[in-house]
Structure 1
Amino acid sequence: MKRLISIAVSLIILTIIYTKIDFLGLIRVFENSDRGWTIASFAMLIPLVLITSWRLQELTPSGVRLRFAEANRLILAASVLNMVLPSKMGDLAKAYFMRDRGHLSGSLALSLVVFEKACDLLSLLLWCIFGLCLYPDKNFLFWVMTVAVSSSFIFGILLLSSRKFAHLFFDLTGRIAPKKIGVKLDKMRFSWGEMHEYFWSDRRQLAKICLTSIFLWFCHLLQIWFFILALKAWTPFLANLALSPLAILAGLMPLTFAGVGTRDAALILFYQPYFNEATGAALGLLCTSRYFIPAIAGLPFLSQYLATVRNFKKS
C-alpha cells in the first residue's frame, strides 16, 4: 500500500510539473541535445557502479573477502530493490544477501552496509556544503539550507565518530519511538556499536573508504553536470555542487516512488537562475535514468536473491 501511495504522489507531482511547462519545448530540448556529452554522461554509469562495487568489496573483512563480480551483482540487485522497497531499503537488503551467502554474520553485514550508506550521505552533504559556501547571491532560503545541511553533516560525523554520542542518540530516540520502531532501534544500536569497533580499529582502512566515498560522489555530481552540458545548457560547476545535492536530498524523502517528482521539482526550482523549466524537466528525466538503468542491469541477478528478499520483507 505504501508503494502504491508513493507512486500516486509521484504521478500527481509529475502531472503538475508537465501541465505547467512547455511540453513541446521539453521535446525540443532532447532533440537539440549534444550527442557527445549525452554518451559521455551515460558512460559514467559504468565506472560509478564499478567503484561502488570495489568499495563494498573493500568494506568486508579480509578473511571473508567478497569477489568483485559478487559485489557487482549485489550492487545491481540492490538497485532493483531500491525501485520497489521504500527509503532505499534495497541497500539494507544487501546485508541479508551477504549473510545468506555466508560471507558475514548478520549483524556485521548490517553494520557494513549502514556504514556504507552513512559515508554516501555524509559525502553528499560535504560536497553540498562546499558548493553552498561558494554559491553566489544566497537568499534566505539558501542560508537556511546551508545551516540545515551543515548541521546534518556535523550530526552524522558525531554519530560515526563518537560512541557516547551514538549511545545517547539511540537511547533518547528509543524512549520516544513507538514500540515497533524501538525494537528496530535496539538492533541498529547493536550493529552501530559493532560498526564502530570494526572500522575504528583500522584508521587506514577507514580513511580509504571515506576518501573513496567522497571521490565517488564527486563523480556522481560531475555526471549531473555532464547531463546539463548534454542538454546544451550551462551552470557553473561550483554552483552545480550546491544545487544537485539539494535535488538528490529532496529525492531521498520517502514520499515518492524512487524520488520521482520531488527530485524533478527541486531541479526545476533550484536551477531556475540558469535555464528554463523545460530544460529543468529534461534534466529531471536524465537524473531519474541514473537509477533506472542500473536497476534494469540488475534484473538478471535478482532471481538469485528472491528468497532473501522475502525473508527481508517478513523481518
Structure 2
Amino acid sequence: MNMAAPGTRWKGRVLAGLVKSWPWLKWLLAAVMLGALYYAAQWHELWRALWQLDAGWLLCAMALFVPQTLLSAWRWRCLARWDQTLSLGVAVAHTLAAAALNLTLPAKTGDFVRGGFRNMKPQHFIAGALCTLREKIADVAVLLVLLGLGLWCSASTAVTLLALLAVCNCVTAVWPACSPPWRHTMRLLWQTALLWALHMLQIACFFRAAGVLVPWDTFLARTPLALFAGLIPLTPWGLGTRDLALAVLFADVAPTAALAVVGLLMTTRYLVPGVMGLPFLTIVSSRALHERIGQELSAVIDRDGDMRLIVLPPRDESAEVEEPAIPMA
C-alpha cells in the first residue's frame, strides 16, 4: 500500500497539470492544424487569395451579423417566458454577452449562463440552461434537415438513404423538446430555421467573397458537416478542425488556398459577436452582481429567524463638524 501511494500521487499531479494546461494545448493544436493547412495551401497562394477577396460579398456577409443577433435575441426572449419583463433590448445584451463568453468557453457553452444575467438566483440559472438546451436541440435538428436536404438532391441511392437517416435522427432529436403547448415548439423551430437560413446565407457570402462557386446542393450537403466538425471541443472557436474539414470536403470544388481563406472568414462568426459583446458582458454581469448583493444586504435574518430590513438613516449634513484648517508656517 505504501509503495503504490507515491505512484498514485504522481499520476494525480500529471492529470492536474494536463487539466490546467489544456487551454494552452488547445491553442497549440489549433496552431499545428492551421500551420499544416497553410503549408499545404502554399503561403504565397494564401496571401494572393486574401488580397483578391471580393469586398462587396464580404460586406454583405458582415452586415448579416445584425439580423442574426436580433433574431437570436428574439428567440431567447420568447423562450425566457419565466421573465415577463425581458425586453428585446435586454435580450440583445444577453445574446451578445453570451457570445463574449463563447470566446473562452468551448462549443458555445457560454449560452447556458444567460439565465443568470437577469438574476443570479439558482432557479434562473437552471431555467436558462434548460431553455438553451432546447435552442441547441432545435439548432442540431434544423442543421440535420439542411444536411438531409442537400444529400437528398444527390443522385446516389446510398446518399439518399443517408439523407433519410439524417431526417430520422432530426425527428428523434426534436421529439423530446416538443412538449405542450405545441405552438411554442413550432415557433422555436420556425425561428431556428430562419436563423439558420441567415447563417447559411452568410457562409455562402464567404464562399463568394473568396471566389469559390459551389452548387447549392453540394453546399447544403457538406457545409453542415464542417460546422459539426468545428463544434468538437479540441480547439478554441473550432480553429483548425473546421478549416481542415472545409479543405477536405470541398477539395474537388476549389483550391486549398481559397478554402483556407473561407475557414478564416468563418472564424469571424465567433470573433465579431464576441468582441461586440465584451462591453455588454461587463454591464450585464456587474448589474446582476449588484442586484444579488443588494438582495442579500436588504434583508438580514436575526437569531429568532425573523426577517428584518436594513434601513439606513438619512444623512444629517448639519451635524457634520468642519475640521479646523491647518495653519501654514
State the partner residue of 1:64.
84
Structure showing greater relative contact order (alpha-carbon pairs closer than 8 Å, 6 or more residues apart): 1
State the partner residue of 1:174.
none
State the partner residue of 1:203.
182
CA contact (8 A) 1:57 1:65 kept: no
* 2:127 is the counterpart of 1:108: yes
3-state DSSP class of the match of 2:213? coil
3-state DSSP class of the match of 1:233? coil
How big is each residue's C-alpha offset from its partner over 1:42-97, in whole Å with a ceiling of 9 and x where there is no partner?
11111111111111111122762411111111111111111111232101121322
Cα distance in 2 between the residues matched to 1:60 and 1:209 = 12
Q: State the identity as a percent.
A: 28
Displacement of 1:135 after TM fit? 3.5
My pick for the range that moved more, 104-113 or 250-259, is: 104-113
Displacement of 1:137 after TM fit? 5.8
How big is each residue's C-alpha offset from its partner over 1:187-219, in whole Å with a ceiling of 9 and x where there is no partner?
xxxxxxxxxxxxx33222221111110111121
Structure 1 158/55 Cα, relative in aligned 2: closer, same or farther at 3 Å?
closer
CA contact (8 A) 1:64 1:103 kept: no
Question: Which segments of 5 or more consecutive residues in structure 2 lack a partner in the other structure?
Answer: 1-19, 290-329
My pick for the range that moved more, 232-241 or 145-154, is: 145-154
Structure 2 counterpart of 1:276, which letter? Answer: P
Matches within 5 A, 1:1-315: 1=20, 2-61=22-81, 64-100=84-120, 105-136=124-155, 146=163, 149-150=166-167, 152-161=169-178, 200-306=179-285
Displacement of 1:160 after TM fit? 2.4
Displacement of 1:263 after TM fit? 0.3
Structure 1 148/289 Cα, relative in aligned 2: closer, same or farther at 3 Å?
farther
> Which protein shows a greater Rg?
2
Cα distance in 1 between the residues matched to 2:128 and 2:212 = 43
How big is each residue's C-alpha offset from its partner over 1:220-261, in whole Å with a ceiling of 9 and x where there is no partner?
011111111111220012221111111110000111111110
Root-mean-square deviation over aligned CA pairs: 2.5
Question: Which segments of 5 or more consecutive residues in structure 1 lack a partner in the other structure?
Answer: 162-199, 310-315
Displacement of 1:121 after TM fit? 1.7
Cα distance in 2 between the residues matched to 1:33 and 1:137 = 35
CA contact (8 A) 2:38 2:46 kept: no
Structure 1 267/145 Cα, relative in aligned 2: closer, same or farther at 3 Å?
farther
Structure 1 16/46 Cα, relative in aligned 2: closer, same or farther at 3 Å?
same
Structure 1 or 2: more helix by fraction: 1
Structure 1 87/36 Cα, relative in aligned 2: closer, same or farther at 3 Å?
closer
3-state DSSP class of the match of 2:214? coil
TM-score by length of 2: 0.74
